[in-house]
Amino acid sequence: MREEKRYYVYIMASRSRTLYTGVTGNLFHRALQHKKGEIEGFTKKYNINRLVYYETFKYIDRAIAREKQIKAWTRSKRLALIESMKPTWQDLADGWGERIRLQIPRSQNLRQTGDLRPCPVARDDNLEGENDDKSESSKREEHVGNTEITAQRGRNAR
């Protein structure tokens, strides 16, 4: 099944909160273009590189109409729109296009040499014997605490 085409009206901002409103069929790609300064003109000149607001549309004509509507608003009304959704002005595209780092640590040999052989077996701290240094009473307290949590979850599920 083919995925439906989506269109986006978006607002980009600079650190000094200079705003740019636009429309696109690929928000990911367009946000990266703004971030890299690839689009000549206003956004590049004023370093407008933070995605602070967007809306999604099924039809391009509705997206264009909304873009024109927002562009006709006063600056204070556009600021209120952004702050109603993101009062911190957080960049919604922060981290887009960056390489993803592995969450699973690799062995030191693989990182340094590029060796593709299987990594040595890592120590599993969850195996028996991990708490050998803990007293029997503290082990019992942990067990009782876990049982109470399980019992509470069971009551909440009813």
Structure tokens at 59: 């039809």
SS3 for 15-44 is: CCCCEEEEEECCHHHHHHHHHHCCCCCHHH
Q: Which CATH superfamily is domain 7-85 in?
A: GIY-YIG endonuclease (3.40.1440.10)
Q: 76-80, 109-113, 129-133, 147-151 — which one is most confidently predicted on average?
A: 76-80
For the chain, domain boundaries:
7-85
Decide: helix, strand or coil at residue 134.
coil
Structure tokens at 55: 């809306």
Predicted confidence band of residue 146 (pLDDT cuts 50, 70, 90): very low
User: Distances in Å between the alpha carbon of 156 and those of 38, 142, 153?
Assistant: 53, 21, 5
pLDDT digit string, tens, across residues 94-140: 888 777 666 666 555 455 555 555 555 555 555 555 444 544 444 44
Calpha distance 101→98 (Å, rounded): 9
Calpha distance 74→131 (Å, rounded): 64
Please list the residues that pair with 55 across neighbouring strands: 9
pLDDT recorded at residue 30: 94
pLDDT recorded at residue 79: 95
